[in-house]
Amino acid sequence: MGTEIERKFLVRNDTWKTSNSTLFRQGYLTIDPNRTVRVRLAGNKGYLTLKGLNRGAVRLEYEYSIAVQDAREILDQLCYHPLIEKRRYRVAHAGCNWEIDEFLGNNLGLVLAELELDYEDQPFDRPTWLGEEVTYDDRYFNSSLVKNPYTEW
């Protein structure tokens, strides 16, 4: 069984920013509160991901590699639109590996930091650029941003 424990935060400023990023395009085949099915292009790699219902910061997650051409066709022809487009940066801070997503397109202006943990209330050092926690606010789920893009808030 795959379990993801992830906390999510708004980002205050760009002092974290590095020059290395990966362009992501992702879409959803289903957007159901109990389960999502996502297709993603991350650089030159394709993925199919199944996610279960969030229980706090914890949920089931299963991810599988798929052919890039298959991912492109699924994104263009089968997924809900608009697609999620973002640049992902990986930033190390105090022994933790943060993923920072700078959204593009219909979610331009939104910047989120995510941290995967071993357990939900695991302590970690908060970087100075870290803002308000939004882990429990479903408006910030990528699947929600398809239905209600950030630029329309």
Domain boundaries, given as residue ranges, for the chain: 3-152
**Does the pLDDT value for residue 8 go beyond 80?**
yes
Q: What pLDDT shows up at residue 1?
A: 56
The Cβ of residue 2 has, within 10 Å, a number of other Cβ atoms equal to 12
Do residues 92 and 85 touch, judged by C-beta distance below 8 A? no
Q: Which residues are catalytic?
A: 28
Please state the rounded mean pLDDT for residues 45-69.
94
Q: What is the CATH number of domain 3-152?
A: 2.40.320.10
Q: What pLDDT shows up at residue 54?
A: 83
Phi, psi of 21 (to 5 degrees): -145, 165
Q: What pLDDT shows up at residue 150?
A: 97
> For the segment 108-136, what is each residue's pLDDT rounded down to a tens digit?
999 999 999 999 889 999 999 999 999 99
Q: What pLDDT shows up at residue 90?
A: 96
Please state, in angstroms and as integers, the Cα–Cα distance from residue 60 to each residue in 30, 49, 52, 66, 131, following that order: 16, 10, 5, 20, 26
